[in-house]
Amino acid sequence: MKNIFLASFCFFSAILTQAQINPESDSDGCSQKCSRANAGQMQQRISYYQYPSMDKYDLHYLKLDLSAEPGSRFISGTAGWKARAKEPMDSFIMEFKNNMVLDSVYINGVKKTFQRGSDHVFIPLSPTVSAGSELDLTFYYQGTANSNGVFSGSQSSSGLTYTATLSESYQAREWFPAKQFLGDKIDSADIWITTTLPNKAGSNGLLVAQVPKPGNKMQYQWKTRYPMNYYLPHFSVGNYMEYLNYAKPAAIAPDSILIQNYISDNPTYFNSVKTNIDKTPPFIELYSEQFGLYPFHEEKYGHVHAGIGGGMEHQTMSTMNSFGSTLIAHELGHQWWGDQVTCASWNHIWLNEGFASYCEYLAIESLPSLFTTTAATYMNNVHNNVMSVNTGSVYVPDTDLYNEGRIFSGRLSYNKGSAIVHTLRFIMQDDNLFFQALRNFQQQYKDSVATATDFKQVVETTSGKNLDDYFNQWYYGEGFPTFNITYLMQGVDSIVLVVNQTTSSPAVTPFFKGLYELSITSTQGDTTVLINLEQNNQVFKIPYQKTPNGIVVDPNNWVINRTGTIVFGGVIPVRVNNWKAEGLTDCSFKLQWTAENQGTTENYIIEYRADSNQFVQVGEVLPVAGATASYQFTYQPNQSGTAYFRLLSVDRFGLRTYSPVISVEDPCRPQTAVNIRPNPAIDHAEILLNIPVAGNTQWRLVNSAGQVVYKERRALPAGRNTVTLPLQNLAAGMYTLEIILPDQNRYIEKLIKK
Ligand SMILES: [Zn+2]
């Protein structure tokens, strides 16, 4: 269904959205503000109750034999059902609006009593019907149907007067007794409509007979043998002319598929829409390639013209308010997405509307000469419409199951639904795989119903890819990401990108992981790169040898997103100053440094080695806030000796910068130390000796002529010692003091005697 919400109350918003998204059709993409309620035709949130015991039987055949006239919602005739009891039944219940008059009900040829109430019909069964029983029901009824299930009127623009049914989502019961369970498709139907000539009646399947009736009437007998959901049987009567096309999908060559169009019998109007109607064959041929052969090729496709505000994908014959190219593409796409495979519940309307909307894109993309817009413009407009509100999921929550404004939200079910199919195609990174997955899904669920989970499983099986993130973020999740990117060149052959993301609905979807395309623009030519974003502020280093001048996020509109800030070189690598170390009396080392431009620093790593060993990491310091900061770090090695340190700064671009290596003596290892005091001295001096090992130590004083003028030898303990050196008998002048330690190391100091 499309554009059904176009109505006077939402006229302006519908036209504005339309102008952006679908310039060729006369209405489109109404926001959830627009609904049939606004048009006096559809309640946003309907009051609805359904008796679960209706699912005790399976409906498999429908026969409608009705009379209707263009311009009137009065309908009369019979509805026949064939049903099979799935379990014992003591009553048969159908849905049928109370305003319609039910004259009589027959089951297996026997007239039955019945009750009406709550828009249901209750038929007691006595005796109880056993499981497996076949029931043949006939309902005789008449009445003027409500305007939310049957549309009638005239179109001044086309000269058409019409009456048309539209049952999606809960309105089949407005015009015939129905069981509105998505899971119960009928196998076949015969729909006979009698109307006054020269009017015609369009419906599902093949027109097998036209039988004249008294009073200048004609009965149009339509017959379909394809399974069909409860909301897809339909009819339209109007002053139609017939126009035929034929589609020729390669799969059935040289056969062709009939396209039967019932259009207002007005040559001027017909000439104005013929060009677009003639696009239907190439669209069928395209989708037959992409999704598998047109599902109902044994019967027909077609259009029937009626003022329903938009389009409705009635199986094998869509009802059309107008004939815009994208509307034609959309309703045709539904023949696969909605009709052959139907959403199993309205929660998953995506499988109908998201995909039918994406069919518009596919037609524009593959057959651009048939459109005035481009695929890029089209998808860009879709994204802009989605992002006009920060929240909302494609998935319809249970609380909105009777809110038709939400189920058929143009922004969420149609536009976001379409955009995320495009995203899925991008994730596949392989169009063959993507379309194979779509064909597999169609094949697996044809003539049946499916949920998004079923679809997910088929795509995962086909592709081997896990789609948990995709569905959690884009289908069940809400909102969209905004990207902020910092980029800079690293050397002359790499570009570094820091990718930051904020989201519009962070309480529901805080992050959108996954593949993204980025275009690095340059006067030397743009470069498109593919990134797999797994966390926020992720750094990507990419080989790149041009001079960049910008980044374009998602240049091909694969993903709903906005671009925030794109900053080039906004960051300079950190600079470490005043890098120093000192030994402390507790045998540890205190390291200190200051840092400038540390805005992007991830951490500082302290590396240590003793003597000739390899550097190892011995500590990590995280940066404090601010561009400039001072740090200190204390480290106590478990081995003695000279310590060597260097500091590694790591920033979030992956840049790793080392400080110079500094060395420090071990504060706890005794070192040989010789100190003479006072110096110069008059009559004696003291020698301060700090020695690492105990043993015999010699010292002697040599004058400037090389003569030994004093010597002494003594056993000294390790550590600090003080010995006295007598000078009173020596001449004034320069002397050399030689000290020979127990380890035979020799120290020489100058001494001046006054
Ligand atoms: Zn639709």
Q: CATH 2.60.40.1730 residue ranges in the chain?
A: 8-412
Q: Could you report the per-residue pLDDT of 705-715, keeping only the tens digit for each?
A: 889 999 999 99
Buried-exposed string 506-517: b where 16+ CB fall within 10 A, e elsewhere: eeebebbbbbbb
Q: How far is the CA of 480 from the centre of ligand 1 (A)?
A: 24
Q: What is the pLDDT of residue 689?
A: 81
Q: How far apart are CA 340 and CA 445, in angstroms?
A: 8
Q: CATH 2.60.40.10 residue ranges in the chain?
A: 575-664
The answer on pLDDT for 677 being more than 70 is yes
Q: What is the pLDDT of residue 606?
A: 96
Q: How far is the CA of 396 from the centre of ligand 1 (A)?
A: 15
Pick the closest to residue 319 from 429, 201, 145, 143 (CA basis): 201
- State the pLDDT confidence band at 571, using cuts at 50, 70 and 90: low
- State the pLDDT confidence band at 194, using cuts at 50, 70 and 90: very high
Q: How far is the CA of 659 from the centre of ligand 1 (A)?
A: 65
- State the pLDDT confidence band at 749, using cuts at 50, 70 and 90: confident
Q: How far is the CA of 357 from the centre of ligand 1 (A)?
A: 7
The answer on pLDDT for 18 being more than 70 is no
Q: Which two tokens stand for residue 412?
A: 């969420």
Average pLDDT over residues 512-527: 97
SS3 state of residue 370: helix
Q: Could you report the per-residue pLDDT of 348-380, keeping only the tens digit for each?
A: 999 999 999 999 999 999 999 999 999 999 999
Environment class of residue 80 by beta-carbon count within 10 Å: exposed (0-12), middle (13-18) or buried (19+)? middle
Q: What is the pLDDT of residue 351?
A: 98
Q: How far is the CA of 48 from the centre of ligand 1 (A)?
A: 23
Average pLDDT over residues 582-589: 86
The answer on pLDDT for 27 being more than 70 is no
Classify 8-412 by CATH class.
Answer: mainly beta
Provide, for the chain, the percentages of residues in helix, strand and coil under a 3-state DSSP scheme, each rounded to the nearest 5: 20, 40, 40
At which residue do the structure tokens 């998808």 appear? 379
CB 432 within 8 A of CB 395: no
- State the pLDDT confidence band at 493, using cuts at 50, 70 and 90: confident
CATH number attached to the domain at 575-664: 2.60.40.10
Q: What topology does CATH give the domain 673-753?
A: Immunoglobulin-like (2.60.40)
Q: What is the pLDDT of residue 44?
A: 67
Q: What is the pLDDT of residue 741?
A: 83
Classify 481-568 by CATH class.
Answer: mainly beta
Q: Which two tokens stand for residue 327?
A: 């509307």
Q: How far is the CA of 596 from the centre of ligand 1 (A)?
A: 59
Q: What is the pLDDT of residue 97?
A: 97
Mean pLDDT across the chain, nearest whole number?
91
Instruction: Work out the number of other CB atoms within 10 angstroms of the CB of residue 723.
Output: 15
Q: What is the pLDDT of residue 668?
A: 75
At which residue do the structure tokens 């002359």 appear? 492
Q: How far is the CA of 282 from the centre of ligand 1 (A)?
A: 19
Average pLDDT over residues 581-590: 88
- State the pLDDT confidence band at 426, using cuts at 50, 70 and 90: very high
Q: How far is the CA of 725 from the centre of ligand 1 (A)?
A: 110
Q: How far is the CA of 681 from the centre of ligand 1 (A)?
A: 109
Pick the closest to residue 392 from 475, 316, 275, 300 (CA basis): 475
Q: How far is the CA of 318 from the centre of ligand 1 (A)?
A: 10
Select the more confidently predicted residue: 474 or 1: 474
Q: How far is the CA of 419 from the centre of ligand 1 (A)?
A: 15
The listed range with the strongest mean pLDDT (288-302, 650-664, 724-738, 740-754) is: 288-302
Q: What is the pLDDT of residue 671?
A: 63
Cβ neighbors of 8 (< 8 A, separation 6 or more) are 38, 39
DSSP code, position 55: G
Q: Enumerate residues with CB within 5 Å of ligand 1 (an ion).
A: 1-2, 353, 356
Distance of CA 337 to the CA centre of its chain: 20
Q: What is the pLDDT of residue 66?
A: 98
- State the pLDDT confidence band at 672, using cuts at 50, 70 and 90: low
Select the more confidently predicted residue: 482 or 723: 482
Cβ neighbors of 382 (< 8 A, separation 6 or more) are 21, 357, 361, 415, 418, 419
Cβ neighbors of 15 (< 8 A, separation 6 or more) are 27
The answer on pLDDT for 37 being more than 70 is no
Q: Which two tokens stand for residue 387?
A: 């992002």
Number of H helices and E strands in the chain, helices first, is 11, 44
Q: What is the pLDDT of residue 9?
A: 33
Q: How far is the CA of 337 from the centre of ligand 1 (A)?
A: 9
The answer on pLDDT for 259 being more than 60 is yes
Select the more confidently predicted residue: 30 or 435: 435
DSSP code, position 84: E
Select the more confidently predicted residue: 173 or 689: 173
Question: pTM of the prediction?
Answer: 0.77
Cβ neighbors of 387 (< 8 A, separation 6 or more) are 480, 504, 560, 562
Q: Could you report the per-residue pLDDT of 451-474, keeping only the tens digit for each?
A: 999 999 999 999 999 999 999 999
Pick the closest to residue 287 from 330, 351, 256 (CA basis): 330
254 prior amide bond cis, ω within 30: yes
Q: Could you report the per-residue pLDDT of 376-402, keeping only the tens digit for each?
A: 999 999 999 999 999 999 999 999 999
Q: How far is the CA of 239 from the centre of ligand 1 (A)?
A: 25
Q: How far is the CA of 405 from the centre of ligand 1 (A)?
A: 14
Q: What is the pLDDT of residue 611?
A: 72
Q: What is the pLDDT of residue 26?
A: 33
Pick the closest to residue 645 from 605, 607, 595, 618 (CA basis): 607
Q: Could you report the per-residue pLDDT of 46-96, keeping only the tens digit for each?
A: 788 999 999 999 999 999 999 999 999 999 999 999 999 999 999 999 999
Q: What is the pLDDT of residue 3?
A: 65
Q: How far is the CA of 356 from the centre of ligand 1 (A)?
A: 6
Q: How far is the CA of 315 from the centre of ligand 1 (A)?
A: 12
Q: How far is the CA of 412 from the centre of ligand 1 (A)?
A: 13
Q: How far is the CA of 240 from the centre of ligand 1 (A)?
A: 24
Q: How far is the CA of 517 from the centre of ligand 1 (A)?
A: 30
Q: Could you report the per-residue pLDDT of 102-155, keeping only the tens digit for each?
A: 999 999 999 999 999 999 999 999 999 999 999 999 999 999 999 999 999 999
Amino acid at 561: N
Pick the closest to residue 174 from 230, 216, 245 (CA basis): 230
Q: What is the pLDDT of residue 573?
A: 67
Helix (H) or strand (E) holding 453: helix 452-463
Q: How far is the CA of 408 from the centre of ligand 1 (A)?
A: 8
Q: What is the pLDDT of residue 524?
A: 96
